[in-house]
Chain A
Amino acid sequence: MGEAIVITSGKGGVGKTTTSANIGTALALLGKKVCLVDTDIGLRNLDVVMGLENRIIYDLCDVADGRCRLNQALVKDKRFDELYMLPAAQTKDKNAVSPEQVKEIIEELKKDFEYVLIDCPAGIEQGFKNAIAGADQAIVMTTPENASVRDADRVIGLLESSHISSPKLIVNRIRHSMVKSGDMLDIDEVLQVLNIDLLGVVPDDEMVIKAANSGEPTVMNPDSKAAIAYRNIARRILGDTVPLMQMDQKKSAFSRFKKFFGMG
């Protein structure tokens, strides 16, 4: 029996879909059998980020309404044999499925997969309720901005009053230079407000945008800092203890090097 993890944030545009795709791929990279479920009905993106848009035949609504079997709707990833995706419908809206239907589908997927990652739509309405219905755990995404932290706080409150007890936090798009100059909230400030366990910190990285556009998750690119962060997060999900990446370490080593040669 696998584990279902919902990735949610409340606010839109903080990187739920990108993170779902990357953590899913990272887990597959570590040899796990993973299924990604897109619950953003009407505004599906996960297939685009994964580069699997042209392979979709059936979707979540078709499964829920019994128009096809579950394994007919699953789209196999082009890179990993053990990575699948269940796409959302694009022509319907969030009310097309009920939380019970989603829960049933997730339960079914948990029998075949070690990890079921549910990509939640923005907002706290029907789509959110659908997405969390079948989940055992939750990952809350936030960026170091007040608006995003506020929405994450709201979502954590909703999750804590649901069946999901202790959601984990990922802080996305942190810019070390801005944090240092005091223009961006730092991790401690975010954690102080939200007061939940930190699962990982993902640095702001242009490669993420590039990768998403080319339909290849960043995590495949070992040169990307965000990729390392996502791989670490995947390992933490598996239960490994991985220390937080020291984002200024590289720089300081370099500056020490410069100093040594009398350049700093």
Chain B
Amino acid sequence: MAVRASRYVTIKGIKDGLTFQFDDKCDFEELVNDLRFKLEHTHQNILTGPLVHVDIRTGEREMTEEQKDTLLDILSQKGNLLVRSFEEPPVPELEVIDRNAVKILTGMIRSGQVLHHEGPLLFLGDVNAGGTVTSTDDIYILGALRGMAHAGIDGNEDAVIAASFFSPTQLRIADRISRPPDDGENRESHMEFAYLQDGIMKIDKMANMARLGRDFNVFKGV
């Protein structure tokens, strides 16, 4: 039998057993052949003896259950090899959207532009008249709100809209729509926020947000 390059399976001795490191780039067939060859020919001497614990490292290779069984079968043919662990590539974690985490965005929303975000939004910049910000949760604007803001767009009536310069063309929270009064007088714009109370939209000073009774982290002093 021809001498074969042993490059796909690396067997290393560790303190309390053996580690089988499988190459993760090569063809699966080649890997199986190399494993068989090593067990039956080159490494015979160390594999016949007392019970040895085996750890398997598969690197980045993604294997089917069948393929795993094939490898385990080969190893179990040697009575003294006890597979202790079979380390598989980490499953890429699904990005968990934390709906309580405030997303911070900067920029400027000009006329005709729309910003939508799922979850609470802190926008650093101006929202100009004709521009739109929407969110499924709260909207906080560190800048001027001159355009339209729609908080709780999926129906969350607890959502609030706050801005440092509160001068919107229209406000929407859940399915309620409100606009500034028509009386023409130029009301001074302050740092304010809008909220729904019994289905009616109300506007108050930012400092009074704590009185809203929502589960904000309220600073009470020391």
**Chain A interfacial positions (CB closer than 8 Å to B):** 146, 150-151, 153-154, 156-158, 160, 192-193, 195
Contact = CB atoms under 8 A, between A and B. Distances in A.
| Interface of chain B: mostly helix, strand, loop or mixed | loop
Contacts of B108: 195
B146 A154 contact: no
Contacts of B111: 150-151, 153-154, 157
A154 B130 contact: yes
A156 to B, nearest CB: 6
B38 interface: no
Interface residues of B, number: 11
Given A153-B129, A160-B110, A192-B144, 11 more contacts: A146-B129, A150-B130, A151-B111, A153-B111, A153-B130, A154-B111, A154-B112, A157-B111, A157-B112, A193-B128, A193-B129
Nearest to A195: B108
8 contacts: A146-B129, A153-B130, A154-B112, A157-B112, A157-B113, A192-B144, A193-B126, A193-B129
Contact of B126 (A150, A154, A160, A195): A195
A190 to B, nearest CB: 12
Interface of B: 108, 110-113, 126, 128-130, 144, 146
Contacts of B128: 153, 193
B165 to A, nearest CB: 10
A243 B113 CA distance: 34
A146 B128 CA distance: 12
Which residue among B110, B128, B129 has the maximum number of chain A CB atoms within 10 Å of its CB?
B110
B113 A193 contact: no
Pairs of residues from A and B, 4 with the lowest C-beta to C-beta distance, nearest first: A157-B110, A154-B111, A153-B111, A154-B112
Contacts of A157: 110-113
Contact of B129 (A150, A158, A160): A150
Nearest to A196: B108
A164 B128 CA distance: 20
A225 to B, nearest CB: 30
A195 B144 CA distance: 12
Contacts of B112: 154, 157-158
A193 B130 contact: no
A141 to B, nearest CB: 15
A150 B146 CA distance: 11
Nearest to B108: A195
A231 B204 CA distance: 49
Contacts of A160: 110
Contacts of A153: 110-111, 128-130
A42 B129 CA distance: 32
A151 B112 CA distance: 9
A153 B129 CA distance: 9
A165 to B, nearest CB: 13
A205 to B, nearest CB: 29
A192 B143 CA distance: 11
Contacts of B144: 192
A86 B112 CA distance: 32
Contacts of B146: 193
A157 B125 CA distance: 14
A241 B130 CA distance: 34
Contacts of B126: 193, 195
Contacts of A195: 108, 126
A18 to B, nearest CB: 24
A158 B129 CA distance: 15
A253 B118 CA distance: 58
Contacts of B129: 146, 150, 153, 193
A98 to B, nearest CB: 24
Contacts of B110: 153-154, 156-157, 160
B111 to A, nearest CB: 4
Contacts of B113: 157
Nearest to A192: B144
A158 B146 CA distance: 19
A117 B67 CA distance: 68
A151 B108 CA distance: 15
Contacts of A192: 144
